[in-house]
Structure 1
Amino acid sequence: MEYPKGKHAWTVKIGEKGQFVIPKEARDLFGIHPGDTIIVLADEEKGIAIPPKSTLEGLLGTIFGGEMPESGEE
């Protein structure tokens, strides 16, 4: 099946511990690397979303009213 430009879909299986692997193509596309922390958003009616890091940083900056510290800073 072909998707509109910029749209993607993958299927994954959930393991016994409730874990799944983000497909390599998706990790490459969104710059997800081993050791990265991601956020999982959930809406009981709409489902689960894993936003890209760039969106997360902007969202957190808006929520906390300022610049976010660089990775590794506290």
Structure 2
Amino acid sequence: MGNYSDHHFFGSVKVGERGQIVIPKEARDKFGIKPGDSLMVFGKDKNQKLIIFKGDLMRDYALKILENLDSQD
């Protein structure tokens, strides 16, 4: 079985009338999510998973990929 030491459960949330959720404070603190931050939401149909990433994290990954492509030329 895999190592789950980096997995967290922060509780449950309810979806409001406008489709909004509140990210629990403990999760916001743990991952440094602040008001105004951009989050990216991905989904997987097969098992109905939703995955949320901080937007700046994805930007950093994209920049690293582009840098590696440039260094190969």
Q: TM-score over 0.5 for the alignment?
A: yes
Unaligned runs of 5+ in 2: 68-73
* Higher RCO (CA-CA < 8 Å; seq separation 6+): 2
Please list the CA deviations of residues 9-61 of structure 1 after superposition, one character each: whole Å capped at 9, or x if unmatched: 12100000010000000000001000111111111114110124564234322
User: In angstroms, what is the RMSD of aligned CA positions?
Assistant: 1.9
Residue 5 of structure 1, CA deviation: 2.9
More helix by share: 2
The alignment's TM-score, normalised by the length of structure 1, stands at 0.67
The alignment's TM-score, normalised by the length of structure 2, stands at 0.67
Aligned residues: 61
Mapped partners of 2:38, 2:23: distance in 1: 13
Unaligned runs of 5+ in 1: 67-74
More strand by share: 2
Mapped partners of 2:34, 2:55: distance in 1: 11
- Determine which structure has more spread, i.e. the larger CA radius of gyration: 2
